[in-house]
Amino acid sequence: MSDLTAVQLEELTACLDSQYHDIRNAVRTEFEDTGEQHRIDLLNREPGDSGDQSLASALADFNVARFDRYIQALRDVEAARQRMESGEYGTCTDCGLSIAFARLRVAPTAKRCIECQQKYEREYAQAGQPSL
Ligand SMILES: [Zn+2]
């Protein structure tokens, strides 16, 4: 269980929402640039409608490599929202300790505390890009 206060959680929820919207806008711009406006329909869905296919899954269906980074970013946001709902948000998935609020403000999708994240990045540094 994290020791975040309701006010802190509210601020972090707003951070996640704005991240989500930024990504969605970036995808929208990408669609417009490529003349695929008809696909923008899928971007009009609001996040968090339970039962709905997530935007990340919808994008993944296009199977377009250039969307991969957006898909990953959206999945991170969606996963953070789920942890928020289940009360696991703000707790490190590796060591179970609270993640510092200062860290979450900078990286609201973070699922590890800074120590575990650094350890993770050292271990997987060669394997690919660092993740939050
Ligand atoms: Zn940890």
**Domains, the chain, ordered by start:** 6-124 (1.20.120.910)
**Of 7, 8, 12, whose CA–CA distance to 81 is shortest?**
12
Q: How far is the CA of 57 from the centre of ligand 1 (A)?
A: 29
pTM over 0.85: no
Q: Amino acid identity of 13?
A: T
Q: List residues, by chain if needed, whose CB lies under 5 Å from ion ligand 1.
A: 92, 94-95, 113, 116
Q: How far is the CA of 96 from the centre of ligand 1 (A)?
A: 6
Per residue in 59-104, pLDDT tens?
888 777 888 999 999 999 999 999 999 999 999 999 999 999 999 9
